[in-house]
Amino acid sequence: MLPPDSAEVFETTISKYWYVNGFIYIVTKKGTPPDLETHIKDIESFKKRAGNKKVCAIMEINESTPTSKEIRDYNSKELADLFKAVAFIIHKPLMKILASLYLGFTKSKFPIKMCSDENEAREWIKQYL
């Protein structure tokens, strides 16, 4: 997933993201998992750039870095204030299995769907705009 030339691209320790047509597009990248303090700063940056409003996210997680239980616990509480809905784009079979397991054990406070491509993700998430 690539941003359009007109989009301003932001980076965190584990992702690149941009806003287009009411969506936030997030592409995870390989790297060292952040500590909790860095992760909190990254989430606060997302919130600030979103105008502290809930957004719909299309997130490509093929290069996702495993995070600590501490960060997963933080996310389960805080991300409900950031996202209306999230469409995950996953191409790698192993990542699909890991995402399914994680989502199976986690109770999300917003709708989530695993998608095969950007078009499927966009079509599904439009209902939450």
Task: Give CA–CA dist 68/37, Å, rounded.
Answer: 12
Give the pLDDT of residue 8.
Answer: 94
pLDDT level of residue 102 (50, 70, 90 thresholds):
low
Identify residue 52 by its one-letter amino acid code: N
Task: Name which residue leads in pLDDT, 63 or 83.
Answer: 83
Average pLDDT taken over every residue of the chain: 86
Distance of alpha carbon 104 from alpha carbon 83, whole angstroms: 19
Please tell me the pTM assigned to this model. Answer: 0.86
The whole-angstrom separation of Cα 99 and Cα 114 is 8
pLDDT value of position 5: 92
Q: Which domains, and CATH codes, for the chain?
A: 10-128 (3.30.750.24)
Tokens at 76, concatenated: 């389960």
Q: Determine phi and psi for 15, rounding to 5 degrees.
A: -155, 165
Q: How many CB atoms lie within 10 A of CB 53?
A: 9
User: Which residues, including other chains, have CB under 8 Å from residue 3's CB and lie 6 or more apart?
Assistant: 9, 16, 18, 20, 25
Q: What is the dihedral of CA 87, 111, 106, 121, to 10 degrees?
A: -10
| Arithmetic mean of pLDDT, 99-107 | 69
Asked if 14 and 35 count as a contact pair (C-beta separation under 8 A), the reply is no
Task: Give the model's pLDDT for residue 10.
Answer: 93
Q: Reduced to 3 states, what is the DSSP secondary structure of residue 112?
A: strand
Residues 73, 117: Cα–Cα separation, whole Å: 28
